[in-house]
């Protein structure tokens, strides 16, 4: 019941972007009406934005919050919800994959992410190993079976190779792929990232760091939009 109240309060729903080659961006900095990063909305060429939720059991100050999510959607953006990658030194197991997925689900619900949205698992710098595959599969299974969301895979380099990614991005595990800078491409990904690490100066002082993204698919669902 609490989840339904938050959704109604924020007036959010799931949306499909149907603009092939649409430009987007992702950033780990908050963008709200009260900070100067809001100048990105001036002459932006971007249709969608990726913002991050925590891989722990709580949202930190720079993670996506309900007020920011509402603000972004009110400005007409399509918002992709990405879970931060783990530290590359963490030992990956299926048990950990399930735990991290539960954190993603609970954090998404807590900030009012509506049902039907894609939760993107960031696996940048994960090793190319069977342990990493088991982790990813367990994460996807938890989201598929025990949440109102759908799993999607955001992969970077160094990391999994093309054949491993192909084995994950399908109807069984992850519904869509987002290829980060340096990651294998041309394997059916829906979004391609690059150029990366673009620094934008807003109002002459506030600096925002973004990665640029391009929608390759004819359409992509799973975004948060204003209801």
Q: What is the pLDDT of residues 22-69, one digit of tens each?
A: 999 999 988 877 766 666 666 678 999 999 999 999 998 889 999 999
pLDDT at 199: 86
Q: Residue 5: pLDDT band by 50, 70, 90 thresholds?
A: very low
Contact call for residues 188 and 153 (beta carbons, < 8 A): no
pLDDT at 10: 59
Which among 115, 116, 221 has a CA at the least distance from the CA of 176?
Answer: 221
CA distance 46 to 106: 29
User: What mean pLDDT is reported for the chain?
Assistant: 90
pLDDT at 9: 65
pLDDT at 227: 92
Query: What's the mean pLDDT in 111-137?
Result: 95
Instruction: Give percent above pLDDT 90 in the chain.
Output: 71
Query: What's the mean pLDDT in 117-126?
Result: 94
- The lowest-confidence range among 117-121, 130-134, 181-185, 205-209 is 205-209
CA distance 99 to 77: 30
Is the pLDDT at 193 greater than 60, yes or no?
Answer: yes
Which among 170, 164, 124 has a CA at the least distance from the CA of 150?
Answer: 170
Query: What's the mean pLDDT in 121-131?
Result: 91
**φ and ψ at 77, to 5 degrees?**
-80, 150
Is the pLDDT at 4 greater than 80, yes or no?
Answer: no
Query: What's the mean pLDDT in 95-119?
Result: 98
Helices 130-146 and 94-110 sit at what angle, rounded to 10 degrees?
40
Is the pLDDT at 6 greater than 60, yes or no?
Answer: no
């Amino acid at each position: 019941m609490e989840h339904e109240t938050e959704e109604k309060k924020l007036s959010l729903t799931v949306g499909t972007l149907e603009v092939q080659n649409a430009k987007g961006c992702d950033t780990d900095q908050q963008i709200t009406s009260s900070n100067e990063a809001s100048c990105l909305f001036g002459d932006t060429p971007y249709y969608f934005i990726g913002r991050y939720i925590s891989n722990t059991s709580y949202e930190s100050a720079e993670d996506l919050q309900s007020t920011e999510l509402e603000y972004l959607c009110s400005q007409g953006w399509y918002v992709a919800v990405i879970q931060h990658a783990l530290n590359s030194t963490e030992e990956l197991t299926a048990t950990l994959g399930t735990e991290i997925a539960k954190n993603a689900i609970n954090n998404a619900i807590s900030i009012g992410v509506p049902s039907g949205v894609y939760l993107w698992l960031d696996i940048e710098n994960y090793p190319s190993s069977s342990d990493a595959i088991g982790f990813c599969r367990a994460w996807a299974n938890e989201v598929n079976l025990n949440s109102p969301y759908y799993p999607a895979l955001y992969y970077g380099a160094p990391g999994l190779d093309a054949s491993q990614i192909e084995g994950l991005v399908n109807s069984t595990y992850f519904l869509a792929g987002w290829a980060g800078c340096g990651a294998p491409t041309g394997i059916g990904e829906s979004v391609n990232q690059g150029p990366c690490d673009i620094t934008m100066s807003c109002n002459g002082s506030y600096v925002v760091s973004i990665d640029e993204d391009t929608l390759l698919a004819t359409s992509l669902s799973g975004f948060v939009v204003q209801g």
